[in-house]
Structure 1
């Protein structure tokens, strides 16, 4: 029995005891150990998508560990996820203090000398400080460093993570190093640059420099990049947390002072805060945004990635909430408007 086999049999169970994990459905696909083509697994949807773009045309398969319909952090996987990490040739993660379950898996891999390569997508990326409203004692998700971990929402910072993943893949499958790096350069220049350019033009067109979100505090990097104030109603970094009456009152004041008619809310988050603002302020409706932290079943069926979500979810909503366009003009289709105006959670 190899060290990896031993970890598959006992180490994953030990992780469950350590983490207090709860059973959750597994993500599609299954990493295979020994023989066959190499497999990399990713702890977060955005970096799974970057990884599969980088690995295109090579034997390396990239899998997303986050089950469809769930947010990328604030959940605890069952033991099968750890077994899949141990089985894989590489584990793409978001750096420490963001996903506690990923940190624990990394600890086991290092302690037991498992030969799963660890690829930190956050390596060498400059993080901004947490918003002043956030509690520095908040558990996990970057609070220990006092930095906001949601860097990938800035397409320019996302480029570094693409390079980090490409370099990691090159070490795992060195005979395809040139292909990985070529794909990475293509994705950065043709996709991330275009998203950045289109975002910049959109925010530059706006006469408003503030966006009211009913979502959690995940969009600061868009504000930093494009010079707009992103005001989250939910001030925790994870997609959960109570909204205080004072937060509602403050949001209502911002809405009144800036003549805001539309707000944005997270696709995978509770709708009650947004519904409260619609009911108690001049806001007429809320529309969807997402920090690329999870996917819906219909997005999977359409094979949506970071690029498609940017253009089909986030950009139309920002056009609306900035006041650049009416909902009818910004919506990609009539069905989009019907689906996403005051949408209900999945």
Structure 2
């Protein structure tokens, strides 16, 4: 009898322990589920949101790194991810052109939708494309490439997270302040370098660097327009050949996530070399392998620009 009672007592202890373990697990799951769920579109928006969120929220990326985002379209699974999130953050409907359609097709009554570039005065696409004819209603959305305008996007994201998750307001403010400090340092670094520029013009594969050029008194000469997939006409290419020869251009900048064929063709035509200037629409596999982030790549871009503007 004593032996049976002992076995029964041990059984009760084990049962109690299992019950406590399940209870603890449920508490953790419940606590974890209280974290704000954020879905972002492409890399720079993901980076800003992740830095502001810190450990207080879960941040997801829709457009995978290494994928060109201009022509990317969400799948049904992606739309479900947006639907199930608390906050959806995108850069601009001029860049993520599919957002209006997606938001109309899902139930977003519970969703905090954030256009990170809201409040920033966008340049006409024409203004960043040296004479190329373009629809005047279109705007240049590449604001994240200016460290100054990037700080405005961070402010917009931080305010949205504070509104959606007031209990972590102080943490979001603290994280945003730290990130804006990094971006301010980056701005100073660009300013110190570009103030010494001997040459203002730089030639890019597509018109992604208009805001960066405007911020630091440089002149972007793009081969293609706002989309890197749209190749210039033969007439446009002939004009660029003449212009770049006249300005004694030694470097043509291209991007690693799209074909560099046109940039290589122009470089060969004028006897220039090619270098990479990353529009940060996503990280390359090599950049991911090295653990680089937005700040690192922006510094790398500045080193590349030095080859042209400080020659």
Range into which the TM-score falls when normalised by the shorter chain: 0.7 to 0.9
Residue of 258, 270, 283 corresponding to 2:259: 270
Q: In the aligned structure 2, how far is the partner of 1:98 from the partner of 1:279?
A: 31
- The within-5 A match list for 1:241-280 is 241-280=230-269
Say whether the 8 Å CA contact 2:39–2:82 is kept in structure 1: yes
- The within-5 A match list for 1:138-153 is 144=137, 146-153=138-145
Map of 2:117 onto structure 1: 122
- The within-5 A match list for 1:283-294 is 283=272, 285-294=273-282
Say whether the 8 Å CA contact 2:94–2:139 is kept in structure 1: no
Residue of 33, 36, 40 corresponding to 1:35: 33
Map of 1:66 onto structure 2: 63
Taking structure 1 as reference, are residues 113 and 75 closer, same or farther at Cα in structure 2, changes over 3 Å only?
closer
Q: In the aligned structure 2, how far is the partner of 1:256 from the partner of 1:239?
A: 23
Taking structure 1 as reference, are residues 253 and 323 closer, same or farther at Cα in structure 2, changes over 3 Å only?
farther
Q: In the aligned structure 2, how far is the partner of 1:298 from the partner of 1:204?
A: 31
Say whether the 8 Å CA contact 1:212–1:251 is kept in structure 2: no
SS at match of 2:117: coil
Say whether the 8 Å CA contact 2:43–2:65 is kept in structure 1: no
Map of 1:222 onto structure 2: 212
CA RMSD of aligned residues (A): 1.9
Say whether the 8 Å CA contact 1:264–1:288 is kept in structure 2: yes
Map of 1:79 onto structure 2: 76
Map of 2:159 onto structure 1: 167
SS at match of 2:229: coil
Aligned-pair CA distance for 1:47: 1.0
Residue of 89, 92, 95 corresponding to 2:92: 95
Map of 1:107 onto structure 2: 104
Map of 1:322 onto structure 2: 309
Q: In the aligned structure 2, how far is the partner of 1:101 from the partner of 1:130?
A: 19
Aligned-pair CA distance for 1:281: 1.0
Q: In the aligned structure 2, how far is the partner of 1:261 from the partner of 1:180?
A: 45
**Structure 2: gaps (5+ residues):** 1-31
Map of 2:17 onto structure 1: none
Map of 2:186 onto structure 1: 195
Aligned-pair CA distance for 1:36: 4.9
1:266-316 per-position Cα deviation (integer Å, ceiling 9, x unaligned): 222211111112221121x1111122111122323344321011123x112
After TM superposition, the runs of 4+ consecutive aligned structure 1 residues lying more than 4 A away are none
Residue of 287, 290, 310 corresponding to 2:298: 310
TM-score, normalised to structure 1, is 0.75
Aligned-pair CA distance for 1:90: 0.8
Q: In the aligned structure 2, how far is the partner of 1:172 from the partner of 1:100?
A: 25
Number of residue pairs matched? 277
Taking structure 1 as reference, are residues 173 and 302 closer, same or farther at Cα in structure 2, changes over 3 Å only?
farther
Taking structure 1 as reference, are residues 64 and 302 closer, same or farther at Cα in structure 2, changes over 3 Å only?
farther
Higher helix proportion, which one?
2
1:111-162 per-position Cα deviation (integer Å, ceiling 9, x unaligned): x34412111201111222223534434xxxxx63x43211121111111110
1:65-90 per-position Cα deviation (integer Å, ceiling 9, x unaligned): 11121123222132111111111111
Taking structure 1 as reference, are residues 135 and 114 closer, same or farther at Cα in structure 2, changes over 3 Å only?
farther
Q: In the aligned structure 1, how far is the partner of 2:237 from the partner of 2:71?
A: 24
Quick check: 1:131 aligned with 2:126?
yes
